[in-house]
């Protein structure tokens, strides 16, 4: 069986990382247009980096939870497997997932706006804000996808291709409102895949799910594995 998994911020909620929407979501406190857009970065790179430095400090302390670990276990059960995540926290890889596509980048990777070089920087807190490129001293940005930016081409094409031919798509912890990632379940369904959703809440994906597990990721993953 060819199985794909699509995850969102909800899978990291039990690791103590705030989600974006919902009662205690990040976007309740901060305005995305002020922090997660190219215009915001252009206007005030220091403010944007202070916010990412804060998020990096939370993520650095976070550990993968049972949901991440069971998804890494699921990968061992199926030769034909791909994990597609919208998360930038790197917790799936820490939990042992190998076949991972990061649609929205990675908060630990930096990209130089001057020389274009990309590399990992795990400093918490950052020594200098905004941080400068270790190669050319140019202004660095987080290597994440901001609103209004396109997804990384290779990652998106890999996700599209796999989802178009999988027999099952497991969707865990995403509100299903941010495109183009949110279009993947609809594409999978259209191509005949079985859709399973793990989320304590209803989402636009719920209406096309064959199976809805109304649980948190860790319990929901346990229930899902028992069904296999």
21 makes contact with ligand APR (CB under 6 A): yes
Of 2, 22, 109, 139, the one binding ligand APR (CB under 6 A) is: 22
Residues 6+ positions from 104 with CB-CB distance below 8 Å:
85, 86, 87, 88, 144, 145, 151, 181
- Residues 206-225: x/- map of binding to ligand APR (CB under 6 A)? ----------xx--------
Q: What angle do CA 19, 190, 205 make, to 5 degrees?
A: 25
Cα gap 110→175, rounded to integer Å: 27
178 makes contact with ligand APR (CB under 6 A): yes
Candidates 42-50, 52-60, 112-120, 194-202: pick the segment binding ligand APR (CB under 6 A).
Answer: 194-202
Instruction: Please report, as residue ranges, which positions from 78 to 97 form the binding site for ligand APR (by CB under 6 A).
Output: 86
User: Shortest Cβ distance from residue 34 to ligand APR (Å)?
Assistant: 13
Q: 194 in helix, strand or coil?
A: strand
User: Shortest Cβ distance from residue 41 to ligand APR (Å)?
Assistant: 15
Candidates 51-59, 68-76, 184-192, 197-205: pick the segment binding ligand APR (CB under 6 A).
Answer: 197-205
Cα gap 205→190, rounded to integer Å: 13
Q: Total number of residues binding ligand APR (CB under 6 A)? A: 22
Q: Do strands 100-102 and 105-112 pair parallel, antiparallel, or not at all (unpaired)?
A: unpaired
Q: Say which DSSP state 93 is in.
A: H
The residues annotated as belonging to the active site are 104
User: Shortest Cβ distance from residue 146 to ligand APR (Å)?
Assistant: 8
- Written as six digits, the tokens of 2 are 């060819």
199 makes contact with ligand APR (CB under 6 A): yes
Of 8, 64, 130, 185, the one binding ligand APR (CB under 6 A) is: 8
174 makes contact with ligand APR (CB under 6 A): yes
Cα gap 103→151, rounded to integer Å: 6
- Written as six digits, the tokens of 216 are 């948190």
List, in sequence order, every beta strand (DSSP E) within 74-207: 81-85, 100-102, 105-112, 118-120, 140-144, 168-172, 194-198
User: Shortest Cβ distance from residue 218 to ligand APR (Å)?
Assistant: 7
| Residue ranges that bind ligand APR, judged by CB under 6 A | 8-10, 13-14, 19-22, 25, 86, 104, 173-175, 178, 199-201, 203, 216-217
């Amino acid at each position: 069986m060819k199985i794909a998994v699509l995850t969102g911020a909800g899978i990291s909620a039990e690791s103590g990382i705030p989600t974006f929407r919902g009662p205690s979501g990040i976007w309740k406190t901060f305005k995305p247009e002020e922090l997660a857009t190219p215009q915001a970065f252009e206007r005030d790179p220091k403010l944007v980096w202070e916010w990412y430095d804060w998020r990096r400090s939370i993520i650095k302390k976070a550990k993968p939870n049972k949901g991440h670990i069971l998804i890494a276990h699921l990968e061992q059960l199926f030769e034909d497997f791909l994990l597609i995540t919208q998360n930038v926290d790197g917790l799936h890889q820490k939990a042992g997932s190998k076949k991972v596509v990061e649609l929205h980048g990675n908060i630990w990777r930096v990209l130089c706006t001057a020389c274009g070089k990309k590399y990992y920087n795990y400093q918490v807190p950052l020594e200098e804000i905004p941080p400068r490129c270790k190669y050319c001293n140019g202004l660095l940005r987080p290597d994440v996808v901001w609103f209004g930016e396109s997804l990384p081409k290779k990652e998106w094409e890999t996700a599209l291709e796999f989802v178009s031919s999988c027999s099952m798509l497991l969707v865990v912890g995403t509100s299903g409102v941010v495109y183009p990632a949110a279009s993947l379940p609809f594409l999978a369904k259209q191509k005949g895949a079985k859709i399973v959703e793990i989320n304590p809440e209803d989402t636009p994906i719920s209406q096309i799910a064959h199976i809805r597990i109304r649980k948190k990721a860790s319990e929901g993953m346990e229930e899902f594995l028992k069904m296999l």
